Amino acid sequence: MSNPVPYSGFAELLSEGLMIGGWVAMWRPMEIFLYRWWPIVRRRRTYIRLAEMPVTVIT
């Protein structure tokens, strides 16, 4: 099978640049998913408990 795009240094540079750009774009979401997940979960649980807490208004 022949390659429809002829080999060129620019095409390889562009391909590698796009791959690195993809990794950079995905770094922050992956960092949140892998390392910073639990503080977000704890905060969510706290807000859920506050939302379900009974409130009495005394005038």
Give residue-wise pLDDT tens across range 4-43: 666 778 888 888 999 999 999 888 888 888 887 888 889 9
Tell me the C-alpha distance between 48 and 15, whole Å: 46
Q: What is the model's pTM?
A: 0.45
Token representation of residue 4 = 């429809």
Q: Give the residue extent of every domain in the chain.
A: 27-52
Q: Is 24 left (phi over 0), alpha (psi -120 to 50) or beta?
A: alpha
User: What pLDDT is recorded for position 19?
Assistant: 93
User: Which residues lie closer than 8 Å to 32 by C-beta, 6 or more apart?
Assistant: 40
Give percent of the chain with pLDDT exceeding 90.
Answer: 36
